[in-house]
Amino acid sequence: MDTIRDEEKALHIVMFPWLAFGHMIPYLELAKLIAQKGHQVSYVSTPRNIQRLPKLPPNVAPLIKFVSLPLPKVDNLPENAEATTDIPYDVVPHLKNAFDKLEQPLTHFLQSSNADWILHDFVPFWLGSVAPQLGIKCVFFSIFTPPFMGFMGPGSVLLGNDPVRTKPEDFLVSPSWVPFKTTVAYRYFEIIKIMDILSDNNDSGFSDAYRFCSSIKNSEFILIRGCTEFEPEWFQVIQNIHNKLVLPAGQLLSTEFEGGDENNTWWWMKEWLDKKPNGTVVYVAFGSEAKPSQEEVNEIALGLEKSNLPFFWVLRVRRGPTDKVVLQLPEGFEERTKVRGVVCTEWAPQMKILSHVAVGGFLTHAGWTSVVEAVQHEKPLVLLTCLADQGINARMLEEKKMGYSVPRDERDGSFTSDMVAHSIRLVMVEEEGRIYRDNIKNMKDLFVNPERQDRYVTSLLDHLRIIP
């Protein structure tokens, strides 16, 4: 652990992520890096989420305090639902409604916290009026990638005050405020799925666009998960459109503390992987939130079968116990593929699986934590987007030839099993796809560089000290 110089004051930083594991985990990784520098962190979330977070390593545990705020009850939110992974997609607005009701208990905690700063996510738009009254300064810490932040545009566009974007088709092209040539844009089937989050007419009462803009407006500066060496032009776009200082947080690699009992789940998985030749297994997983449709599951399954490659598929058959749509595998699929394939419907240790030498490719939704973990372990990407920012992530990965997207119908997003099989074999086996395998390895240093990551955290802390 780094020590703070005598003339420097140890900071107390509060971290307040949105209730999704794709947000909570990067926040926790940054908390560890800040604590390693000798600063105190209060990590605020709900009781069940805190219990589900990875264990802290002993060297930082004394400086990271978990602050547990019970999630207020609201109508239409199931019992014990405290994260997006616990509920179907259409129930997420009710989770945001409950999250907004944390304003009072969070304020109560902040009043006695003696905190210097709060690093917060895009959802709590109300923090801008709460924290400054208590002498606490705000930083908007975005886990969304710089291309997504840049593509979405300035506040006037996000809030609909500028008629640049009035229909889904307006999101299919590079916007005017991006001064360089790029293919980064949504495809029709991707944007049509998420138009609801851009509208105020949702059950939470506030659009994600409004939350996003308010969080940026009320922050001293913007901190973004990303690397200026990897995407410098996008950092500049964000600074231009928001007229604020923008700092990189680094890619925030997932780290695991190995202390305690080994999870028995991993041992049978490792035993299975150990029997497969190096680089032959395709790992399939779509994160903690994304859930394919039944039709998509059918095509993915048959595509894996047609690929003739071993596969390890982590399949979430439902989003929480109240999800009435339970996914099924095609009839006879498991029997036909039982020698060379595994379908796991429970939690699986993704980092351990990706690190195994038998795994040669990753069929993923392009969620950024999964992307970072894939690059960390040099696994080329086959992309099949599902939600939110994933389409923008996929375009950037395509541009940099780090991943190949399964060909799909532009209007409805449908795809065939033949396309799944073709895409997997292209990226993992065919000579034509060697560029994807090579580029993942070439990009690794931009993602996995401890010195660069340390430099980003040091720069962040320097700014937190000097801003009055």
For the chain, 468 residues long, give each residue's pLDDT as a single digit of tens.
Answer: 565 554 568 999 999 999 999 999 999 999 999 999 999 999 999 999 999 999 999 999 999 999 999 999 999 999 999 999 999 988 999 999 999 999 999 999 999 999 999 999 999 999 988 999 999 999 999 999 999 999 999 988 888 787 888 889 999 999 999 999 999 999 999 999 888 766 666 666 788 888 999 999 999 999 999 999 999 999 999 999 999 999 999 999 988 755 444 467 899 999 999 999 999 999 999 987 788 999 999 999 999 999 999 999 999 998 888 888 999 999 999 999 999 999 999 889 999 999 999 999 999 999 999 999 999 999 999 999 998 899 999 999 999 999 999 999 999 999 999 999 999 999 999 999 999 999 999 999 989 999 999 999 999 999 999 987
Q: What are the backbone angles phi and psi of residue 162, rounded to the nearest 5°?
A: -115, 125
Return all residues near 238 (Cβ < 8 A) that are at least 6 apart: 146, 149, 150, 222, 224, 246
Reading the block at residue 60, the tokens are 């930082």
| 3 state SS of 162 | coil
Q: Which residue from 9, 212, 214, 13 is spatially nearest to 110, judged by alpha carbons?
A: 13
Q: What is the CA radius of gyration of the chain?
A: 22
User: Is 316 in contact with 285 (CB distance < 8 Å)?
Assistant: no
pLDDT of residue 204: 66
Residue whose token pair is 């405290």: 82
User: Is 107 in contact with 130 (CB distance < 8 Å)?
Assistant: yes
- What is the Cα–Cα distance from 176 to 319, expressed in whole angstroms? 38
Q: Which residue from 37, 4, 13 is spatially nearest to 115, judged by alpha carbons?
A: 13
Q: Let me know how many helices (H) and strands (E) the chain has, helices first.
A: 19, 13
Q: Which residue from 407, 416, 369 is spatially nearest to 388, judged by alpha carbons?
A: 369
Largest CA distance in the chain: 69
| 3 state SS of 76 | coil
Length of the chain, please?
A: 468
Q: In the beta sheet, which residues pair with residue 118?
A: 14, 138
Please check whether the domain covering 264-446 is classified as CATH 3.40.50.300: no
Reading the block at residue 23, the tokens are 């947000």
DSSP 8-state code for residue 449: -
Q: 177 vs 150, 202, 309, 416, CA distance in Å?
A: 9, 28, 44, 36
User: Which amino acid, 348?
Assistant: A
- What is the Cα–Cα distance from 111 to 121, expressed in whole angstroms? 20
Query: From the centroid of its chain, how far is CA 95?
Result: 18
pLDDT of residue 263: 60
pLDDT of residue 464: 96
Pinpoint the residues of the chain covered by CATH 3.40.50.2000.
12-253+449-466, 264-446
Q: What is the residue-wise DSSP string for 235-269?
A: HHHHHHHHTS-EEEEE---------SSPPHHHHHH
- B/e letters for 316-347, b = 16+ CB within 10 Å, e = fewer, are beebbeebeeebebbeebeeebeebbbbbeee
pLDDT of residue 259: 46
- What is the Cα–Cα distance from 219 to 235, expressed in whole angstroms? 17
Residue whose token pair is 């020698």: 339
Return all residues near 453 (Cβ < 8 A) that are at least 6 apart: 33, 250, 251, 252, 253
Homologous superfamily of 12-253+449-466 = Glycogen Phosphorylase B; (3.40.50.2000)
pLDDT of residue 72: 96
Q: Is the pTM of this model over 0.75?
A: yes
Q: At what angle do helices 450-466 and 21-36 cross, to 10 degrees?
A: 80
∠ CA(149), CA(90), CA(413), 5° rounding? 65
